[in-house]
Structure 1
Amino acid sequence: MAVEPIALVSTESPGSGMLRCTDAQSGCTILMGPPHANPRLWREYLDGALEVYRYYGAEEAVEYDAWLDGSCTSLFCVALNSEGRVVAGVRAEGPHRHVDQVHAVRSWSGRIGDAAFRRLVADQIPDGVVEAKTGWVARDAEHRHALADWVARAIVQSALLLGVRYSTGIAPSHVLDRYRTTGMTVVWWIPSSGYPNERYITHPVWWDMENYQALGTPEQVRLVESELAELRASGPVGWTGGERLAQA
């Protein structure tokens, strides 16, 4: 699959080096780009993730120090409220060249179904795979439900911007219905497991860019595509997922 170029907004904007659009449901400004494009926003994204995950007793899933330099992440996505505060986000790792690079597969090692999950992702690698990770919404954010819907859309948009067919990951039970609105499929033949700890029942999942439109809800699919068009039109080409892949 061809890699789509990622456009950059003007260097004069608050999201310098980032794609931009507006989430009509929450009113938030959406910014997407590689961590090096805006280190301040990247750190605010990580700080927010750590705060939310810590509240829910899952902070071990946020490898803050290991991620801080941004080398693990190809594209991160944040929602900024009217005060410019980061109130939600998600990120993508990849595109991956080998199944061993996929954190979700490594984290499933030793669990029931680990070999089947590994085979699934290995078969997807030739068509392009990124991993969706560390989605969160601030607990005190206005329009929390709308922002959670946006996180589900951003996962699909990230894969499309990075020019891959698949986005994979592991997701807790409480977000499955929301992720299904953007075409997510649960790997139903692999039993769920407790991750990052036994408080959470977690499932291997994936999105296929060739069928997310058929599987997602009409409203979410419409918003995925309208926001994606706005993102792609937000500035001149300055960075591509292909550059990231060449460095892998």
Structure 2
Amino acid sequence: MTVETIAVGPGGTRDAEVLRFRDMHSGYVFHIATPQAHPDLWRRYLHGALRVYRHFGVDHALEYDSVVDGHSTSLFFTAVDPAGAVLAGLRAQGPYGVADEVHALGAWAGRPGADQLRTVVAERIPEGIVEVKAVWVAREAEHRTALAAAVSRCVVHAARLLDARFGFVTTATRNIGLYRSSGGYVADRIPSVPYPDDRYRTVPLWWDIRTYRSLATKLQSSLIALERAALDAWLSPHGRALSSRPGSGGLAQP
């Protein structure tokens, strides 16, 4: 397992280092960056997300016009094939300062479970919550199952890199098994909601950076450890990490 860095920048006017690691099972290279550091990759990630969300008729849930400027995104991850095509990705918001910043609360507003979810969020805010949004995998991607598993591991990496204890995702119930494989668990006593529409039953899932290994499969836990070691190997000699959006605190130093 290795981590590579590359110099990127729009028109050569602003270079920035971008973290990369290769998923051993799918073979794709994951790039970790901020929208400001790598705007071209950010646009390609969003275009891929929009294409997938439109295919399922839920592009409104992406809130493209609100997120396209990148200001609400602290980090984003993309899976890139040897030809340079972006075939999967996700973006991370946070760490949050107050409960009202958590985007997912809106899906439960006025519905059963809203108060319980807000209480759980408020309890965990002091130790850091990173919310992962706009997760997608291209339908045409080779080794799609392995790629989806790698994407689920990125929730753990996002929380850790942003110095938060908790990762947070809302997802359709059909995806629970995938996220559980990387150590996610469904929030207790919070009913599912029909979001983005009545075709889906959406639930909140959490990852605790301190305990996820006890819930993850042996394979996923091992791969997370390898990827974490590779990321640490890059971060340590640099003495710093990628810059994040203003006010986010940046990526955590190891």
TM-score, length of structure 1 as denominator length:
0.91
Alpha-carbon distance in structure 2 between the residues aligned to 1:156 and 1:24: 17
Alignment partner, residue 5 of structure 2: 9
Amino acid at match of 1:239: L
Is 1:46 aligned with 2:46?
yes
| Preserved CA contact (<8 Å) 2:74 2:245 | no
Alpha-carbon distance in structure 2 between the residues aligned to 1:187 and 1:115: 13
| Preserved CA contact (<8 Å) 1:11 1:17 | yes
Offset at residue 169 of structure 1 (A): 2.5
Amino acid at match of 1:84: G
Alpha-carbon distance in structure 1 between the residues aligned to 2:155 and 2:16: 21
The runs of 5 or more residues in structure 1 that have no matched partner are: 1-6
Alpha-carbon distance in structure 2 between the residues aligned to 1:144 and 1:210: 29
Amino acid at match of 1:199: R
Alpha-carbon distance in structure 1 between the residues aligned to 2:112 and 2:212: 27
Offset at residue 58 of structure 1 (A): 1.2
Offset at residue 91 of structure 1 (A): 1.1
Is 1:229 aligned with 2:229?
yes
Query: Where in structure 2 are the equivalents of 1:186-201 lying within 5 Å?
Result: 186-201=186-201
Q: Which stretches of structure 1, 4 residues or longer, exceed 2 Å deviation after superposition?
A: 7-10, 231-247
Query: Where in structure 2 are the equivalents of 1:1-248 lying within 5 Å?
Result: 9-11=5-7, 16-234=16-234, 236=238, 237-240=240-243, 244-246=247-249
Amino acid at match of 2:228: L
Number of matched pairs:
241
The runs of 5 or more residues in structure 2 that have no matched partner are: 10-14
2:5 match: secondary structure: coil
Offset at residue 149 of structure 1 (A): 0.1
Superimposed CA distance per residue, residues 108-131 of structure 1 (whole angstroms, 9 cap, x where no aligned partner): 211111000000001000001110
Change in 2 beyond 3 A, CA 1:218/1:194? same
TM-score, length of structure 2 as denominator length:
0.89
Alpha-carbon distance in structure 2 between the residues aligned to 1:42 and 1:242: 14
| Preserved CA contact (<8 Å) 2:74 2:248 | no
Offset at residue 17 of structure 1 (A): 2.6
1:11 match: secondary structure: strand
Identity level (%): 41
Alpha-carbon distance in structure 2 between the residues aligned to 1:29 and 1:16: 18
Change in 2 beyond 3 A, CA 1:140/1:188? same
